[in-house]
């Protein structure tokens, strides 16, 4: 999603400012998720397009947790991640 927005010239500053993404780590995170998907037996069919990354953003774990629990009812119920 982030790379698509970057390639279209759309701003992801809101995500950066809220501590939800580190632009310089998008490729690394994608590669780590691919490894985990393969480990779990999933097929990976979404290669990451080439894009120009820059140093921006710092992940805020608590803000990420809040964002996840707002979008995922199952995550809210399970509450496996503790603040």
Distance from C-alpha of 51 to C-alpha of 64, rounded to nearest angstrom: 24
Tell me whether residue 2 is exposed, middle or buried, using C-beta atoms within 10 angstroms of its C-beta: 0 to 12, 13 to 18, 19 or more: buried
3-state helix, strand, coil in the chain (%, to 5): 55, 0, 45
Please give the pLDDT value at position 83: 47
The alpha carbon of residue 55 and the mean position of all alpha carbons in its chain are separated, in whole angstroms, by: 15
Q: What is the pLDDT along the chain (83 residues), one digit of tens a residue?
A: 999 999 999 999 999 999 999 999 999 999 999 999 999 999 999 999 999 999 999 999 998 888 888 888 877 666 555 44
Distance between CA atoms of residues 1 and 71, nearest Å: 16
């Amino acid at each position: 999603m982030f790379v698509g927005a970057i390639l279209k010239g759309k701003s992801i500053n809101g995500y950066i400012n809220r501590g939800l993404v580190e632009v310089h780590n998008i490729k690394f995170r994608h590669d780590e998720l691919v490894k985990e998907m393969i480990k779990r037996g999933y097929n990976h069919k979404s290669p990451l397009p080439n894009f120009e990354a820059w140093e921006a953003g710092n992940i805020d774990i608590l803000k990420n947790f809040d964002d996840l629990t707002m979008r995922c009812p199952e995550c809210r119920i399970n509450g496996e991640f503790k603040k």
